[in-house]
Amino acid sequence: MLDLLKSAQARRVLMVVTIISAITLLIVQGLAAWGLDEEKDLGRAALVTLQVVASGLFGGVAAAAFIAFVTRFLFRQDRKLEQTTVIDSLTSRHMHLAAIEESGFWLHNGHIGRWVRTEVLPRFAMAARSGAPKTVKFLLIDPRNNWLVKAYAAHRDQVDGNPHGIDTVIDARVEVLATILRAAHYQQHVAGVRVEVYLRSNLDLFRVDTSQNHAFVTLTRDKAPSIHFFHDAADGDHYWAAKLNFDHAQALADRVDLEVPLAIEPTEQDVESFLESLGFDAYAHLSKDVLARSHSPFNRTR
């Protein structure tokens, strides 16, 4: 019985049936009380009817209070279950885009940040021009950590079905540097958009994107389903855990100085100087690729 009551639809049906049954019972009891009075004393019959109706109402209220008390935790559990769902890749993309439009911030706990760089930043910039301030924070793999970059590239090569995906160490490193470059551009040259980038030295194969009311857990594999956490005013334990997890990881990561001067339309030489100033001088020779990738559109790769 309790398993049945865990279904919201079953509880609604039970409630309707209970109400209809109670009303029917009250009517039958009232008519019976009236009919049992052989003397047809209207006053006495009315009094008996009122007594029956009153006792029925009292019993109904008591029963309703008991049912509400017993099932209260079931309703709460139902809300929690509804806040965590598994969604297909197409639905996930639509929900990601809808979340961008309604949110004032975006926290990306991922690897290279390409999707956020090409989808979130431009949309946030457009919204900021209308007077809505936006914040984007990236938590990315450290391109200086050779083991980390190799492990990530090997993973992408293993699961990525896109022939133009990220499957080499150079690909992975260039993508991270391109995200840093583009983040600096928005931080310095787009009013109303605040961007922060943090570099970590551990590899987590899950990516978590958190906005104002949503958190999405995704994989690098194309068309893999996603886990969606919804936050509302009453609950949202998994959502808050995702947000808090980002805060803890950010505190342990290295922050990139995005205020190092960068031209609004940088040349290859500007990018090389920018990378050297940030301590990425070992990869300054990749400046041409970094500049090209920073402007490339998203093509199924995140």
Say yes or no: 57 and 6 in one domain.
yes
Please, which residues bridge with residue 200 across strands? 141
Provide the domain limits for residue 135. 85-294
299 domain residue, yes or no? no
Boundary of a domain, candidates 82, 102, 132: 82
Say yes or no: 115 and 240 in one domain.
yes
Please, which residues bridge with residue 135 across strands? 105, 194
| pLDDT tier, 300 (very low <50, low <70, confident <90, very high otherwise) | very low
Q: Please state the domain count of the chain.
A: 2
| pLDDT tier, 33 (very low <50, low <70, confident <90, very high otherwise) | low
pLDDT tens by residue, 66-117: 555 555 554 455 555 567 889 999 999 999 999 999 999 999 999 999 999 9
The pLDDT of 182-195, averaged and rounded, is 96
Say yes or no: 167 and 233 in one domain.
yes
User: Helix 169-189 crosses helix 121-129 at what angle (to 10 degrees)?
Assistant: 10
pLDDT tens by residue, 260-289: 999 999 999 999 999 999 999 999 999 999
The percent of residues above 70 in pLDDT, for the chain, comes to 68
164 domain residue, yes or no? yes
42: tokens are: 């209207």
Q: How far apart are CA 199 and CA 141, in angstroms?
A: 5
Say yes or no: 39 and 148 in one domain.
no
188 domain residue, yes or no? yes
pLDDT tens by residue, 107-166: 999 999 999 999 999 999 999 998 889 999 999 999 999 999 999 998 888 876 555 567
Boundary of a domain, candidates 55, 82, 109: 82
Tally the C-alpha atoms within 13 A of residue 170's C-alpha that lie toward its C-beta: 7
Say yes or no: 51 and 189 in one domain.
no
The pLDDT of 225-244, averaged and rounded, is 83
Q: How far apart are CA 272 and CA 287, in angstroms?
A: 5
Q: Is 90 helix (H, G, I), strand (E, B) or coil?
A: helix
pTM of the model: 0.74
Q: How far apart are CA 194 and CA 120, in angstroms?
A: 12
Distances (CA, A) of 244 to 86, 228, 248: 21, 16, 6
| CATH code of the domain covering residue 214 | 3.30.870.10
